[in-house]
Structures are given as structure tokens and as C-alpha cells.
Structure 1
Amino acid sequence: MSPRRGQDGFDARRHHPRRVSIMATVSLTSGVRAALGSLSSIKDAASTSQFRLSTGKKVNSAVDDPVNFFTAAGLNDRASQLTKNLDGISNGIQTITAASQGIDSITKLVSSLQSTIKQAQADNAANRPTKAGTALATAAETALNSKSLKDTVLDKALADDNGATANTATASYAGNLGIDTSTNTNVAVTISAGNTKYTAALKTGATVRDLVNEINKSGIATASVDDAGKLNVTGSGSNTLKVGLGSGTTAAAAATDSESGTLNTALGLIAGDYTTGITATGNSTVRSNLINQFNDLTAQIDQLAKDAGFNGKNLLTGDKLSIVFNEKTGTQQSKLDVQGQTITAANLGIGQAVSGTATTGQFNIQDDTSLSTMADTLTGALTSLRSTSSSLGASLSTVQTRQDFTKNLANTLNAGADNLVQADTNQEAANLLALQTRQQLSQTALSLSNQADQAILRLF
């Protein structure tokens, strides 16, 4: 059948074709559709497992699980802030440790100062106040009684038993020093040095030997009669020594009179020696040589304390250390304030050693009382240092405990957050393996479904 043409033979359909749109709808069998749906769901599940394995989390955004996601974020944030506090806690521990080590070293220096003081106290021969009286017996007396000058003097009585004139010793008579006790029947001796005083009443008929024994009993001074027959008195310490002999109608009056030394001339001593006192005439060379050693150790205390700081904080120069333990602020903030102390030799009461008159902040190393006072001061300084060391130790223990707690708490918070969002890699890996197996089975099912449709083509 030929196409229609116009009179001129023109084919209108050829030159003016119409566009025809044909939409074909493909119909899948139920088996193929089920296989495709299974493959699609398996692919999505496998993709999810792969993503969880790659990130290690089962909750990666608020879409996955908003409650667990934001809870874990809060826990991690707090753990992060606590971890940042650990740096400050660590610095605090080092600061306290540096101060504690400084205290230990200063304690050793103070112990060395104690040794220096003991060495100075051991040398005391050159700076003791000493007084030697005039001879109380003569060679003529010894010729009569066949005794030494020393024994002749020791056996003499203090008081004159028949007047107020000294009687010489003879072969049958010990002699006396001529002290009149006809009215003032009581005789007393007083010895003092520094703040220590000793007074003793002498019995009737007391001898020079009795007087020497009483002086020695005082502990303040020692007395003896030398081979020249002179009474020698030496102080037990370096303080000015006062020795006085007096008399009175009563024991109390005699004690009072002895402090003026009215009877000292009878002993060969200067009248009023108790009033003016006896001073040392020389200094100990050993003590003088220890001055530089003592002062050098004292200076080291100040220098060591200044060097006991860490990161700009020094608890031995009075700085205050604040260590923050938690992430909160205001009244909810947990912290420890460690107030330092200014450790210097002056604050410990340790002065500079000098030989001679001491001014403020100094002590006379030649003076026994000053040495004894300094020894007590050093003992007190050690007690103070031990107290400070104990306080620092308690603070250090507290900070170390909080450091361990903060570390453990941060780990606990991180573990809690991980439990909320972390994936079980073993489970996800098993799921992925199972999904891959199901994917292969679904692909096989799809292939079988397609083969069923292709079987129709064999009919043509």
C-alpha cells in the first residue's frame, strides 16, 4: 500500500512527522522484587556495620540516639576539664615538694649550727672571770706548824675568837682571818652570775676550807687555795662573777651584808667585789674562729629558702598556693589553699655571732649565757621547721590523693561515655559477615528468579 501523496507527489507524513511518546512499564515478578528488596536492606545494614567498625561507635550523632549521644558528650566534657586540672595539680605537687625539700635542707643547716654552738661551749678556759686574792699565810707560819701554805690557809678560821685581829698560825693554833663576830655573830657568803644567785650561811667556827666548799657547792663558781696561799675564785660561766662575804646579827642580815662584800678584804679579795663584779680578761680563740662558720651557715638558710620555689611559687617566702580539684566555679569549686611561711634565719630567731658586745640581731659568742640561749633558740627552730615540714607533708598527701582520685574519675567518666556510644566491634564484625552471606544468598535468589523469567523465552 503506497503512502498517500498530494497531487504534486509530496508525502506529508514524511516531511511533517508527529512525535509519538511511548512509556513502557516494566513489571517485575514478585520473586525478583523480593530479592531486590532484600539486597537493598542488606546493603544498608552492611553500610551501617562498616561505618560503626570504622568509627568504633554505634552512636555517631544525635540522630542515632539523642539521649546517649548528649549524655556521653557531657561525660566526656567533664572528663576533659578534670584532665586539664591535673596539670595544675601536678604543678602544685611539685611546688609543695620543692618547699618540703627546702625545709629538709634548712633543718640540716640548723643542725650544723647546733654543732657549732656545742663546739664553742666546749672551749671555755680563756673567757672565765677569775680573781686571785692576796696570800693568807706566810712562810713563818708554815715553819711553825710544818704545813704547806695551802693547808695552813685552808685550816684557818674565818672569825677571830678573841677579838678583831687576825691571828697567825702556830704549832698548836690554826690561826684565823680576824673577822669580828662578837656583835655580828652570823656570817654568810653570796655568789651570783647572770640571773643565778647562791647564798649560804656559814656555821660558827667555819674555816677557809668550809668557805671554799660552799662556793664550789654553788655551781656558779669554783674556789681553791693555791700553793702560794691565795684564794682563787673562777666563774663557771663567762658572765660577770660576784662574790661577797658579810656578817650580821641574824642570818638574813648577814645574807644582805654579803651582797656588799664588806668582809672581802679578810679573804684577800677586794672590798665590794660583789658590787663591782669580776669579769673575764680574755676571749676564746676557738670561739672567735667559729664566728665566720656560724654566720656563713646562717646566710645559707636565707639563700636556700629563696631557691626552694617552683614555677614562680615559693612557699618558703610566704607565697600562697591554690590548687583547684574540680571543674566547678564559685562556692561549688573544690580547692586547697596552702599558705607558705617566710623562712629566714631572723624569723627563726637565729642572730649573727659576734665577739664582744652584741646589738639587735646578734649574740656574743664569748658569753656562755648567750651561747646557751642560742642553743635553745636552735632547738626551737628545729621544732618550728619540723612543724612546717609536717604541715607541708599533710598538704602534699592531700593533693596526691586528689590527683589519683581525679585521674580515676576522669577514666570512669570516659568509660561511662564509651559504654553509651561505643560499638561492640566483635558483634558488628559478626553482623557484617552475616550480612555478606545474606547478600550472596539474595544475589543467588535474584539470579534464580531471573532464570525463571528467561525460561519463557524458550517457548519462542
Structure 2
Amino acid sequence: MVAISTGVRNALSSLQSVQSQSQVAQQHLATGRKVNSAVDNAVNYFTAAGLNDRSSQLSGLLDGMSNAVQTINAASKGIDGITKLVQSLQSTLKQAQADAATNRPTKSGTALTAAGDKNGALSVKDVVLNKALGGAAAVTADYTANPQVAGDLGGNFGANTALSISATDSTGNVTSFVSTSLTATSTVRDLVNEVNKSGIATASVDDTGKLVVTGTGSGTLKVGLGTGSGAATALSNAQSATLNSNATIGLALTDASAGISASSNSTVRSNLVKQFNDLRDQVDQMAKDAGFNGTNLLDGNKLSVVFNEKTGSAQNKMDVQGQTVTSANLGIQQMSNGASAGKTNIQDDTSLQAASDGLTSALSSLRGMASTFGSNLSVVQARQDFTKSMIDTLSTGADNLVNADQNQEAATLLALQTRQQLSQTSLSLSNQADQGILRLF
């Protein structure tokens, strides 16, 4: 065993200490951490590991939230597109409703006699309008002196004369109007006014002296004029196929029972059938294409979004239940160019109005769905932002426990290197002191 002097031993010990500390500082600088294992600081090491573990789990949940945001966005954009299609369907219906002239039930009766204008001062139309419904006995004014009193229609009307008007739509609903204010002395003008008051039909007398009746809707129109001992009997006769007095005013007897139907369909409306049905089909197609990553909220799928890393009852998640969006579920029927079961008859005004109301309801339903998805999206986005903040907080907290201060470690290493150089010099000097004994020899 070689004996080492105290000076050399102290210098060597100091050099070893400096070397050890330098290695630690170098490790801190190389790893960027002051706690690299539980040996360094068990409390900080395991606390930071727990924080980093939770941060990692939350980072995994962010992917699910991101997918959820895109899934809800896809459904919302689908609703926006479907809403525009429904609005286009409304425009198509309005075009159909605007073209109503050619599918109104219209009846032009036979010419009513124009005899009775003694002085020839009135047109045929005015003569007919001034005629009384009843026979000669009902005309009380002086026909000889007053040419405005243009005779009568010769009808056998008494005190009770009833006008019955009804319209039947394609669904069988009947709208009726009854007037019992007419009497034998009432004129054709009074009759025309009563028809026009009904809201079911309009009436006029043309230049040839014919009474023209036109329905305000597209359904079958029934017009009957009757008389009787009382209002009830007059009404019953007005509605009868054989007891009405329609012949008096130039209308057919069947106009009171079988009714008057439109003579032709609207060509404009017929041409809109395909356009409407094509738009309706696109509603279904767009709903099917509104999915993201295999989940389609407009096809009835359910979306589950997990917000925290826990399990069981402690897990926080939100379920977004989708709805099956189809034209049928929205109450939008196919269009047909005539009566057809389960379809909207484009030639029928009542059916078109029902379809228009249905489209309004469909838009209301779509707005409700859009509002619900918008609320769900706000929740997911808020949780997404919160989770990102939590990840930053957890990571920062973990880093504060184990990360090294690079500036401090660099300064420490530089100081240790200086000490190392001084220790080496001290060791050299100690060795030189020991060698001084050799000078004695």
C-alpha cells in the first residue's frame, strides 16, 4: 500500500467531489430535468408522473372531441342544405298556386232572354242583370214608364228563395254557403251579389246575357237555386238534382247535385310535378350524405363524446341523439298530376295549401334540429377548449417539479469546471511539495 500525503489526499478528494457534481450538472443539462428518477426526488418524480399521465389521457380525449365537433358540423351543414331545398319546394308550390285560372270549375249558362227593355237604352248584360227572378206578378214597378225594370225570368218563386253553393276538395271536405235573402222580386244582380259574397264562387253576366259562375278553388262546385214554403224547403229544393230552379237562370239541373268540375288541368302546374319531386328526392340524398367518420346524425345515429379520463359513474360524457331526416318524416309528400293516394294533387288548391303548410312545419322542425345541434356543438367546443387548457396546466405543473433551470445548471457547470481546474492545480502543487524531499539526495 502506497501512502499518500494529507495535502494530496485533500486535493484528490476535492477533485473527485467536483467531478461528481459536474456529472450531475451535465446530466441536468443533457436531459433538461433536475429529477430524472425517484432517487433524485421521489415526491416530485411521482407527482409529475401522475400529472403527465392525466395530461396524456386528456390529450387522447381531444381526438374524440375533435371528431365530435366535425360530426355535428356535418349534420348542421346538412340541415342548412336541406332548409334551402325546402325553401325551393316552397317556391315551386307558389308557382303552382299562382297559376290557377285554367283549373277553376266554370259554367257558362244558357242566354237569359233580353226582352223587356222597351226603349233599347240598356245593353243585353244590363237588361239581364235587372230582370226579376220571379214571374210577372213579382214585378211591381211600371215597366212601361221605366226601362230600367227589364221584365222577369218567369220563375215560379214565392217569398222563400234559397241559393245553395258548395265546393268539395280532393280530400272530400265540403265548404258550403247558403243564402235565404232572395225573393221573387230579387233581380239577377242580387243573385250575382249573393254568389260573390259566398267566397266559394264568383258570378257575372257576360255581354250575351249568360250567367257565368266560377269556383274560387279547384274542387267540384255545386250551385242550386230553389224555392219552397219555407227556408228549409227552399234550401232542400236548391240542393236537389230535380227540384231546383236552375233552369230559370240558365244553369243545368245537375249543377246543384253532380256539380261543376274543372274542364282541364293547368299545364304550368303539370310541368312543376317533376321539379317538385326531384327536389324532394334531393332532401333524402342530402340527409344521407351528412355523415362524418361513419356517424350521421341525420340518419338517426347517436354520438357519444367523453369529456374526462374517469370511468363508471365518475365519467363525464354527452350523448347527441341524431334524428332520421327524410322527406317523408318531414311531412313532404310526393306530387302528382291528379288525385293519387298518399300524394299531393297539384291541380287541387286545397291539397296545395296543405302541402304549403306542411313545408312551413318542415322548416320549423329543421330550425329546431339546427338549434339543438348548435347547442350541442357549443358544449363540445367549450369542453374542448377547457381540456386544452387543463393539458397545458398539468404539463406546466409537472415540468415545474422536475425540469431543470438551464441557466442555473450552465452557470453551475462552469463554476465546477473552474473548481476542477483549481483542484487539479492544487493536486499538482501537493505532489510538488512531496517531491521536495528528493532534493536532499
TM-score by length of 2: 0.92
* Aligned mates of 1:311, 1:95 — CA distance in 2: 7
Compute the displacement of 1:32 (Å). 2.1
Aligned length: 430
Superposition map of 1:274-423 within 5 A? 274-360=256-342, 362-423=343-404
Compute the displacement of 1:37 (Å). 1.4
2:171 matched residue in structure 1: none
Which of 81, 98, 112 aligns to 1:136? It is 112
2:163 matched residue in structure 1: 189
Residue identity matched to 2:205: V
Superposition map of 1:64-213 within 5 A? 64-138=40-114, 140-142=115-117, 145-160=120-135, 162=137, 172=146, 173-182=149-158, 185-194=159-168, 195-204=174-183, 205-213=185-193
Residue identity matched to 1:434: A
Residue segments in structure 2 that go unaligned for 5+ positions in a row = 169-173
Q: Residues 459 and 102 from structure 1, CA distance in 2 versus in 1: closer, same or farther, beyond 3 angstroms?
A: same
2:247 matches 1:245: no
Partner SS state of residue 227, structure 2:
strand
Residue identity matched to 2:167: A
1:5 matched residue in structure 2: none
2:5 matched residue in structure 1: 28
Contact 1:186–1:248 under 8 Å retained in 2: yes
Deviates most, 387-396 or 270-279 = 270-279
2:430 matches 1:437: no
Residue identity matched to 1:449: S
Q: Residues 170 and 375 from structure 1, CA distance in 2 versus in 1: closer, same or farther, beyond 3 angstroms?
A: farther
Contact 1:145–1:170 under 8 Å retained in 2: no
Q: Residues 50 and 187 from structure 1, CA distance in 2 versus in 1: closer, same or farther, beyond 3 angstroms?
A: same
Compute the displacement of 1:81 (Å). 1.2
* Aligned mates of 2:118, 2:207 — CA distance in 1: 15
* Aligned mates of 1:273, 1:285 — CA distance in 2: 26
* Aligned mates of 2:248, 2:232 — CA distance in 1: 21
Compute the displacement of 1:170 (Å). 6.4
Contact 2:182–2:191 under 8 Å retained in 1: no
Contact 1:141–1:170 under 8 Å retained in 2: no
Compute the displacement of 1:436 (Å). 1.1
* Aligned mates of 1:321, 1:400 — CA distance in 2: 15
For the aligned residues, what is the CA RMSD? 2.2
* Aligned mates of 2:266, 2:203 — CA distance in 1: 22
Residue identity matched to 2:410: A
Q: Residues 176 and 299 from structure 1, CA distance in 2 versus in 1: closer, same or farther, beyond 3 angstroms?
A: same
Deviates most, 142-151 or 232-241 = 142-151
Residue segments in structure 1 that go unaligned for 5+ positions in a row = 1-23
Contact 2:116–2:150 under 8 Å retained in 1: no
* Aligned mates of 2:96, 2:144 — CA distance in 1: 48
Contact 1:131–1:233 under 8 Å retained in 2: yes
Contact 2:133–2:157 under 8 Å retained in 1: no
1:45 matched residue in structure 2: 21
Contact 1:324–1:334 under 8 Å retained in 2: yes
Greater gyration radius = 1
2:430 matched residue in structure 1: 449
Spell out, residue by residue over 1:5-26, the C-alpha distance to the aligned partner (whole angstroms, 9 max, x if none).
xxxxxxxxxxxxxxxxxxx441
TM-score by length of 1: 0.88
* Aligned mates of 1:233, 1:296 — CA distance in 2: 37
* Aligned mates of 1:170, 1:366 — CA distance in 2: 51
* Aligned mates of 2:364, 2:232 — CA distance in 1: 44
* Aligned mates of 1:329, 1:246 — CA distance in 2: 83
